[in-house]
Chains A and B, each alone.
Chain A
């Protein structure tokens, strides 16, 4: 039965996290925005609190999924939680000690042994290279088998949590001439000789999150540290499938990143409306936007856009929870939320004018933070490409 309200269980989780955001995260926002590479020590407390709440839920058995019928599980829970935490601060959330994007990959495709050994470590994801952004099939980092080990060579950039993490999941090719199919991911423990953090980026936003460049020079790791099969498919179909599997990770990570944009945009809308209320601007939801002031009409428009993006995110997550293929919907929600988040946060700065632009308030920070959400985990244009291919039934060689 159609019902597009989040469940009571998820509402409770969200309400709790909103409290954490308001009282424990937001007060740190400006401090760690200014002290760019400082380690947000206070966030350890938040991480511990969240972990405690999670395990208490697990112990209680959580919401038991029924034997049949619809479920609201981890994916909807994740987007709901992320929205609340990123309402607090998206940079601090990304820099929160304990878990990174690499954990998602390990938990999704790791063997039981790998999950046991690394699933709970702080794992970052190394994909992008200096010469390779969105074209992730074109990476040059190599992994060569040598006895009981893999030897990794190459340079990775834009590694979120790259410095603070304990474990890295590294994309590397076994043989670049074999194309996508030869790309595998490898688990590298930080501190392994040959693996070195060479630089931390200075960024416009999410400055509380460390973004590292990491080089691998004859970095040797055990043979069992490959994620998934080490075989390179020999036929075209197999090759396509192999890389498709790697890319599928994104189906699970795009809605969460979209949810981050939902959280930041909500933060901006809430603060902007608070500042505008002082000047007597308040939404009544009565007259049509066209008969309202330009300022009110724009706020209505942004509220509508925010709800639109949020529902697309929830739909994509709901499909994942209910084991429906959601590749297109994941990209749809990322495209919509990414551009909405960017638009809304920038407009809120503009509407609040001097106060919006000033560091006295956080609107200007939200506007800087939001930009990355329309870039990482697939840019706006990559999402449009994926959606377009699906809608039009085109292959990647037809619609490039």
Chain B
């Protein structure tokens, strides 16, 4: 990681690498994501070959050490946040699907043992998309990640996992899963599950949004895993895991809200009512100004926390507040986006209603987008 010196300056300049990489990802989002987003949402399917196509971005390849087949570029929370923001500008659901393996890889690199890295990382360096995911959320009102009902009981030679997980991205096809469960001592642990062991059942879920992301419910009925399936060899740093994931979720919000802003700007400038563009009216124009203001603040909150994480500084409060802010503002922007288009916004001819439905997920998602 690049730790800035103690005399580092306040700086909003991207590195040359970040700038070039952004251009690539933005081009991809515009050409290969956005045009498919609405159709995929209506069909509730991922466009054929989409995830394999994302391999050209090398998202998971980047942080994996060269010795394990990767590019060996240090994992960078800032670059990850930028990538996720730009992908989500294309579509939130497909962006989350595309980065689910990256989130798995990031957590593995961050907290896994050398043996676990050697065992699993090479599979993300191949020619085809390797679906992997993280399962944290549980299906009940008032769910909080500090209160897990899914348990990992200690048994001979390993653990026995029982419980239910919801809203798991790529939950049907994931070959590797990081499952968070409470252990006997009451602390959370993360467990790597391969394939479909006995006792695991996967069922597709449908939600108000994230329709083109293959979301599943996972039920664990006394699923046996070996002792070395537990991530890392010391206590799981749960707070750090949640925080790093929150930054990815914030970035999803930023990218999607930028899409909303770009869209309403153009639409409302062209939309004529009472003889002139509706943006000539303050009630419309101020709503758009406020979207721009709050969106920029969302971005800065996210970047700040990511930069702190990257520099090895404490970033828990920053990540918590970024998520709090992004969750609230994202939904406000989502609903204003529909409002600004009026009845047209409510109909599926425009993407704003899809963004509204997808942005509702920001406050709920947890643990799935580690940067």
Are B292 and A7 closer than 8 Å at their CB atoms? no
Interface residues of A (CB under 8 A from B): 1-10, 70-72, 76, 285-291, 300-301, 303-305, 307-309, 311-312, 314-315, 318, 329, 332, 335-336, 381, 384-385, 387-389, 391-394, 398-400
Chain A residues with Cβ below 8 Å from B14 are: 2
Closest B residue by C-beta to A324: B12
Are B15 and A7 closer than 8 Å at their CB atoms? no
Closest B residue by C-beta to A393: B269
Are B10 and A314 closer than 8 Å at their CB atoms? yes
Are B9 and A72 closer than 8 Å at their CB atoms? yes
Are A336 and B293 closer than 8 Å at their CB atoms? yes
A8-B2 contact in complex given A285-B320, A291-B144, A308-B325, C-beta closer than 8 Å: no
Most B Cβ at <10 Å: residue of A8, A285, A398: A285
Contacts of B253-310 to chain A: CB distance below 8 A? 261, 265, 268-269, 277, 279-280, 282, 285-286, 288-290, 292-294, 296-298, 300-301, 303-304, 306-308
Contacts of B1-56 to chain A: CB distance below 8 A? 2, 4, 6-15, 18
Chain B residues with Cβ below 8 Å from A288 are: 144, 363
Are B298 and A308 closer than 8 Å at their CB atoms? yes
Are A2 and B11 closer than 8 Å at their CB atoms? yes
Are A301 and B293 closer than 8 Å at their CB atoms? no
Chain A residues with Cβ below 8 Å from B304 are: 4-5, 307, 311
Shortest B49–chain A CB gap in Å is 34
Chain B residues with Cβ below 8 Å from A400 are: 280, 282
Cβ contacts A to B, 6 pairs, < 8 Å: A5-B10, A9-B7, A285-B320, A300-B324, A303-B321, A392-B279
A4-B12 contact in complex given A308-B300, A394-B279, C-beta closer than 8 Å: yes
Are B297 and A3 closer than 8 Å at their CB atoms? no
Shortest B315–chain A CB gap in Å is 11
Shortest A242–chain B CB gap in Å is 26
Bin chain B's interface residue count: 35 or more
Interface residues of B (CB under 8 A from A): 2, 4, 6-15, 18, 78, 142, 144, 146, 239, 261, 265, 268-269, 277, 279-280, 282, 285-286, 288-290, 292-294, 296-298, 300-301, 303-304, 306-308, 311, 313, 316-318, 320-322, 324-325, 328, 363
Are B300 and A335 closer than 8 Å at their CB atoms? no
Closest B residue by C-beta to A386: B289
Are B78 and A2 closer than 8 Å at their CB atoms? yes
Bound Cα distance from A96 to B18, whole angstroms: 45
A312-B296 contact in complex given A2-B12, A6-B10, A70-B11, C-beta closer than 8 Å: yes
A304-B303 contact in complex given A314-B10, A336-B297, A388-B289, C-beta closer than 8 Å: no
Shortest B119–chain A CB gap in Å is 33
Having A5-B313, A288-B363, A392-B268, one finds 14 other A-B pairs with CB under 8 Å, namely A2-B12, A5-B308, A9-B7, A301-B328, A307-B321, A308-B298, A308-B300, A315-B296, A318-B12, A335-B289, A335-B290, A335-B293, A387-B293, A399-B280
Shortest A9–chain B CB gap in Å is 8
Q: Which of A286, A305, A318, A335 contacts B325 (CB 8 A)?
A: A305
Are A399 and B285 closer than 8 Å at their CB atoms? yes
Bound Cα distance from A305 to B15, whole angstroms: 28
Bound Cα distance from A72 to B288, whole angstroms: 31
Are B12 and A387 closer than 8 Å at their CB atoms? no
Are B325 and A307 closer than 8 Å at their CB atoms? yes
Are A311 and B325 closer than 8 Å at their CB atoms? no
A392-B269 contact in complex given A288-B144, A312-B300, C-beta closer than 8 Å: yes
Are A312 and B297 closer than 8 Å at their CB atoms? yes
